[in-house]
Amino acid sequence: MKEQIIETVIRLFAGADERDWGKVKNTFAENVELDYSSMTGNPASVVPSEGIITAWRGFLPGFDKTHHQLADFYVMQNGSAALVHYYGKADHFIGDDLWIVEGTYDTELIETHGKWVITKHKLNLIKQDGNMDLPVQATARVSERG
């Protein structure tokens, strides 16, 4: 059971790196509490999964490549609910420039009809490094492509 929970989390990040939005959608519940407040300063909010995908589609394809590395999974399961705490490092590339985000995540999931889906996704930022202008450049690149 814990393997299925971890696999759901891994598929989320693999889908983002592959720009496979169907794979990403299949990891999410209909609505997800998304909390990147430690990085953005914006408060956590409940967002439809389609809204998250739309936001990521307007950002991630602006990078030439992204690579998420996950480690040290700790799963706490109580019946059909689970909390996963893990380390994550995300490398974002445009040409030879690199923007790095490191932190831990707390991701909550529920099991419905034999499938685990994400209901809450929180980043606990440790640090950002590299070219801090790349996120703005990535967003502009997506806008330019239309």
Q: What is the pLDDT of residues 60-110, one digit of tens each?
A: 999 999 999 999 999 999 999 999 999 999 999 999 999 999 999 999 999
Q: What is the pTM of this model?
A: 0.95
CATH class given for the domain over 2-138: alpha beta
Distances (CA, A) of 31 to 36, 38, 50, 59, 109: 16, 21, 9, 20, 12
Task: Strands of the chain (E only): list them.
Answer: 28-35, 45-48, 65-78, 81-94, 97-112, 115-130
pLDDT at 112 over 80: yes
